[in-house]
Chain A
Amino acid sequence: MANMTDQTRANAIIQALFTSSTTFTITPGTSGGSAFTMTPPLKIRLMTAQGTNTSNGTESTSGNCPGYTAGGVSLGSSGFAAPSGGQQTNNNSASWSATGSWSTVTAIEIWDSAGTPLRWLQGALTSNITGVANGDTVQFAVGSITINASAW
């Protein structure tokens, strides 16, 4: 069985998490686990080494990717568009202007803006970003980051 969850419910869950522009807390009922809070805006971080679903990757730094600042950049209010088919894409672009040569970037992570930010998503780039030099721009255009919950 490829899909275990009703797609409408999956769409509702990911839209609540990744499209909301305001902070909200989900408080489960008895035996439902701990409450958790989502704090927009979401931020995209660049990784020189991809993490896993249980451990963070190695974030780019201003040292190995001049022009990048640790902590990433905001994906704006309502970071991701309304989902369709269990997938949604970013509503706003994100870009960096390199001020020197960059190490290879292989992956991204999506974090929230809590005082102690939480990591929500991680994934590899379609292609590594290599050879960035001073003056170049690295950009994720609108629609270039896909959240895929279609297999839930």
Chain B
Amino acid sequence: MLIRCRTGGEILDVADGQDPHAALDANGCSHCADSHPLDVHCGETANSCPRDHPGPCWNGEGERPDGCAVCRPLLFIANARVI
């Protein structure tokens, strides 16, 4: 199952049964909920939350600071072959 942040960025292939939102989280897909730089995408590290946090938003933090969120909403990229 292919997914990515709806706002853009890297496409991830998530195995069946795996929570896609958690998968993105585990891959460093995070951003400031309200204002993250447009160049922060799924699979990358959100290095700055310009509004609320001068430091890392998610990566390297034991606990996610307030104002940061995993990438939601997601875009589910579907494919099918019909006969």
Contact = CB atoms under 8 A, between A and B. Distances in A.
Interface string B62-83: 0000000000111111111111
Contacts of B1: 127-130
Nearest to A140: B78
B80 A136 contact: no
Contact of A131 (B19, B75, B81): B19
Given A128-B16, A130-B17, A131-B19, A137 B82 contact: no
A140 B79 contact: yes
Interface of A is mostly: strand
Interface of B is mostly: mixed
Interface in B15-32: 16-21
A136 B72 contact: yes
A6 B25 CA distance: 51
B79 A126 contact: yes
B76 A144 contact: no
B33 interface: no
Interface of A: 53, 98, 105, 107-110, 121-141, 144-148
